[in-house]
Amino acid sequence: MRWMPAFVTLSAIWGASFALIKIAVEAGVSPLWVAFWRCFFGALALLAVCALRREPLPRDRAVWGHALVVAALLNAVPFALLAYGETLVSSVLAGVWNATTPLTTLVFVLLLVPQERPTARRLLGLLVGFAGALVVLAAGPDAGGGPPIGSLACLAATACYGAGFAYTRRFYSGREGSAAALSAVQIVCATAELAVVLPFAGGGPSWPGVPAASALVLLGAVGTGLAYILNLRVIRSAGSTIASTVTYVTPLWSTLLGTALLAEPLGWNTVAGGVLVVAGVLLSRTGGRAAAARLTPR
């Protein structure tokens, strides 16, 4: 059980990311800038780790080409969507939506990975998870629901994660280079992609104040930098199946921090829907080789 401290720390870091995003967007930071700073500080942290470990970045053009796709699906687009979603819904609700990531991952794995086949149990898990999503969508403004477009943006982010993890498994994870180096390449690409878009859609940067700036640094350096290292440590110590169960724990942290620190409401729809989503995830991973269990969402 030597992996347990890293596992708990990782779940807390990723669970806290939703509250940090909320702090930033409420301070007036636009969703694209939230995504950019998250990737920028994450890239700096990962590059520093590679420098300290003397792990060179891959030079293969194919690695960088696939990294551009992975970065868009796992970082640039979903980070912006989540930040936009949290301008309209609570961080508690956003954390619950993130728990659907293994289900969207399974959908894309079944579509993109030929050796994976649907089973009755997996399909039942997807149906239960979908039912949970409908219950969560019923959350009204008094429960932190806000306009439906906010929840749909969060759900779209998890769909990006699902496609990204399936693509990573098939085209990227087996490439040459250490995990830290491949992660650094991925986040550098995401930073570059967002930097290209910002002049056209993000507006100019502005100083949001110390609390929001601190939240963005933590969100990037810790949530997108240190978290990668902790995730790798858990995978190596306990296996990817156990590491992937962090998805069950992060909504607990996001709910705790959102209600306790940000005074966000917690409606019965969110709780009941979240339970159904997690039940769907558990069903989809029971029996056989659950592909999503080998892909740990962030």
pLDDT on residue 178? 84
Residue-wise pLDDT tens digits, 116-168 = 667 788 788 878 877 877 787 676 565 556 788 998 999 999 889 888 887 88
244 near 297, Cβ under 8 Å? yes
Pick from 241, 236, 207, 246: nearest CA to 99: 246
- For residue 240, pLDDT over 70 is answered with no
Q: Is 236 a residue whose pLDDT tops 60?
A: yes
- Opening angle at CA 286, ends 281 and 290, nearest 5: 80
The pLDDT value recorded for residue 244 is 64
Count other Cβ atoms within 10 Å, centred on residue 2: 8
The pLDDT value recorded for residue 292 is: 41
> What tens digit of pLDDT does each residue of 2-48 get?
778 888 898 899 889 999 999 999 999 999 999 999 999 999 999 99
Lowest mean pLDDT among 49-53, 109-113, 158-162, 205-209: 109-113
Mean pLDDT over the full length of the chain: 84
- Give the pLDDT of residue 116: 65
| Alpha carbon distances (Å) from 276 to 152, 157, 222 | 18, 19, 30
Rounded CA separation 181/126 (Å) = 34
Instruction: Tell me what pLDDT residue 289 has.
Output: 45
Distance CA 161, CA 244 (A): 13
**Percent of the chain beyond pLDDT 70?**
87
Give the C-alpha separation, 221 to 68, whole Å: 20
List pLDDT tens digits, range 48-90: 999 999 999 999 999 999 999 999 999 999 999 999 999 999 9
pLDDT at position 275 over 80:
yes
CA–CA dist 218, 17 (Å, integer): 8
- Band (pLDDT 50/70/90 cuts) for residue 243 is low
* Residue among 69, 98, 79 nearest 35 (CA): 79
Vertex 188: Cα angle to 109 and 172 (nearest 5): 30
**CA terminus-to-terminus distance, the chain:** 22
The length of the chain is 298
Look up the pTM and report it: 0.84
* CB hemisphere CA count around 192 (13 angstroms): 12
From 190-194, 244-248, 274-278, the region with the lowest mean pLDDT: 244-248
Q: Give the per-residue pLDDT at 294.
A: 44
Give 122-131 pLDDT, tens digit per residue.
Answer: 788 878 877 8
pLDDT of residue 191: 97
Q: How far is Cα 151 from Cα 84, in angstroms, rounded to an integer?
A: 10
